[in-house]
Structure 1
């Protein structure tokens, strides 16, 4: 009897040892990024333990297979409901895959179980934000209560209060965040924006220049900096930064217009004219596109009379609009009975755009329709 038990013990020990060594191989493959082979080994175990499902989930997530990772995390929790790390990773992945209600439920349980964990409060805040739940901000504040140096939550709170136009609170959180990391670009940007919003233009200039020194630039930053210099009566620097704004975004109407006004103040009317004309052109609606689209709408309803009217209006705005010219010919072709009238509009299209590379497809259709109309003329004459 003792011998039988001993043999059984040795057999079980060998099986456990073999399984352990196999898992070591799988772990090594996982460590070097050979996730597919690692997963195959993990899945070959019998039975698969909760922690092995956890590893499968991590490997699938590393491969970008989030749905498979979620399934594996779920199986791990079913096997062992006490694996807090698995629950935490599962909840985070649910949030990242926009399954906010499921994530909300899981984080609620985690917070009840571990009320002192700042990350769970922070993650719940992110979930609540996505659910448009006003309690999000309270979770962010609780995060700071548990971890006073949580930089990400400071950034969230600074942005929250800035959007709410509570600029003093936004400024305070941004300042606190920069005391922890003065190289944080997003925090520096909020810090500059709050000074600008509070009309502290001298301070805003210093802060925006710091943002630029950190390597961040945008047309909005340069435009705000330009306006701050203008408010501080430094016209030359205001013009300099407004010009930088339009270098990054030439279609920025407000910047083009303000440069024109500043150049006029600076007695440079010729330069002012250029920027004001650009602003005027940008402000003017693209009526040719609007008219063409209305024409196409009427054409689709077989209302060719109205279609003709709007294609003509489009061409009045832009005589070189290829499609409007072709669609006008098509509408005329459908509306008028007179063959010569119909033919003349296709010929006009060919005359205008015969050498235009972008008109090639329309030209082929126009030539074909001319051929058909001429056949109709021939038959009617006979």
Structure 2
């Protein structure tokens, strides 16, 4: 009987092992067929092994569930700390979640385990770049380009310099990248773009024309070619280049706006109008587009449109006085922050020349309190408290005249009335101080 039991146990044990072996190919088939959900079910029905856990992580990755994949891989990494494949997969999952710090940590650990692996070093540099640590990334890219003759790292170095706001160095490295690969579109586009930003339009024209002669199908370079001429005010040359972009399917805001303004600048209003209308529909905030539309509407006697466009322009245009008010007020606040109160009151007073009625009301308060508490000039403090009092009174009258008075409106009136009462006591105090000072002199 014991022999029979042993044989039964042996049979079922053998069947279980055989069944597991049969399921592994099925799991692999599911994974190969991107049926990751089915693969996960099959994996969970098996006795868990390192291999199956790795397959599980692959399935979670395939389903874009990177957090679950990391959970599985992290557990495996604890058990197998020297497994390069597990740590590499973890690094990629962290990248997919934009967790650059965690990914960087993985690559640091991988480099400790395999110090000669160039891939890990490239990815480490990329993570430093993602973290905006451009100096450290630059050092790694330089080591990779110099030590391993990886020319594509030169381009990465250029990107570091560009992001560090060092355009001259960036251009040097983009030029080196182009020497290594004359058809490197990214480097040529970046080089042209930097020249446009720096208003080096001649260099931008030369670079973009040269590339277009080799390949006239690249949309990005075609656009930059047009922008190079446009930036230099060479509108006759810019128009056919932007038209080529448009005919090749680029109906972006930049193309519509640039074509419209180029035609307008050449006096070809009929050709300009449709592009400007499209540009305005894509971005209604551009002042230059609005102005061109407004002027052309007058010229073609579409006065209703002209009124609309000019009205919008006036609403959006900040008067020159507003700039002066903001500048003087800002300067006054800076002096105040430095406890340079004389400079503060001088600039607050200057700001009152350009502020609106309500803006000046707050300036009067700042002037009064600064003279009162910081400079201890009671006469000047009283002068500005009285101006503040008059402004508050006028503001209160405006509030009372408004017809629609909701709860917020009523609270504002109560607040102003309370401020006036407090202000009256301040004025009374100063008047007494000045009266006493006058009697003491006598």
Q: TM-score, normalised by structure 1?
A: 0.70
Report which of the two structures shows the higher radius of gyration computed on alpha carbons. 2
Q: CA deviation at 1:94?
A: 1.3
Distance 1:340 1:171, change over 3 A: closer
Distance 1:92 1:156, change over 3 A: same
5 Å matches for 1:88-237?
88-115=122-149, 117-131=150-164, 132=166, 134=168, 136-144=170-178, 146-162=180-196, 163=198, 164-165=200-201, 166=203, 167-174=205-212, 176=214, 178-179=216-217, 182=218, 184=219, 186-197=220-231, 201-212=235-246, 213-218=249-254, 221-222=255-256, 224-230=258-264, 232-237=266-271
Q: Which has the higher contact order (CA 8 A, sep 6+)?
A: 1
Distance 1:155 1:290, change over 3 A: closer
CA distance in 1: counterparts of 2:270 and 2:227, whole angstroms:
22
- Is 1:336 matched up with 2:382? yes
Indicate the residue corresponding to 2:417 in structure 1: 367
* 1:57/1:70 contact within 8 Å kept: yes
Q: CA deviation at 1:73?
A: 0.3
CA distance in 1: counterparts of 2:332 and 2:410, whole angstroms:
22
Indicate the residue corresponding to 1:8 in structure 2: none
* 2:367/2:384 contact within 8 Å kept: no
Where do 5+ consecutive residues of structure 2 fail to align? 1-47, 373-380, 432-442
5 Å matches for 1:192-341?
192-197=226-231, 201-212=235-246, 213-218=249-254, 221-222=255-256, 224-230=258-264, 232-238=266-272, 241=275, 248-250=283-285, 252=287, 254-255=288-289, 266=299, 278=313, 282=317, 284-285=319-320, 286=322, 287-290=324-327, 309=349, 312-314=352-354, 318-319=356-357, 321=358, 323-325=359-361, 328=364, 335-336=381-382
Give a deviation string over 1:2-27, Cα, whole Å, max 9, x none: xxxxxxxxxxxxxxx94444433333
The SS at the match of 2:79 is coil
CA distance in 2: counterparts of 1:299 and 1:85, whole angstroms:
56
* 1:50/1:75 contact within 8 Å kept: no
* 2:332/2:348 contact within 8 Å kept: yes
Two-structure CA RMSD over aligned residues (Å):
4.5
Q: CA deviation at 1:172?
A: 2.0
- Is 1:349 matched up with 2:395? yes
- Is 1:23 matched up with 2:54? yes
Q: CA deviation at 1:260?
A: 6.3
CA distance in 2: counterparts of 1:156 and 1:113, whole angstroms:
25
* 1:299/1:331 contact within 8 Å kept: no
How many correspondences in the alignment? 352
CA distance in 1: counterparts of 2:54 and 2:399, whole angstroms:
71
Q: TM-score, normalised by structure 2?
A: 0.62
5 Å matches for 1:46-61?
46-61=80-95
Distance 1:169 1:367, change over 3 A: same
The SS at the match of 1:44 is helix
Where do 5+ consecutive residues of structure 1 fail to align? 1-16
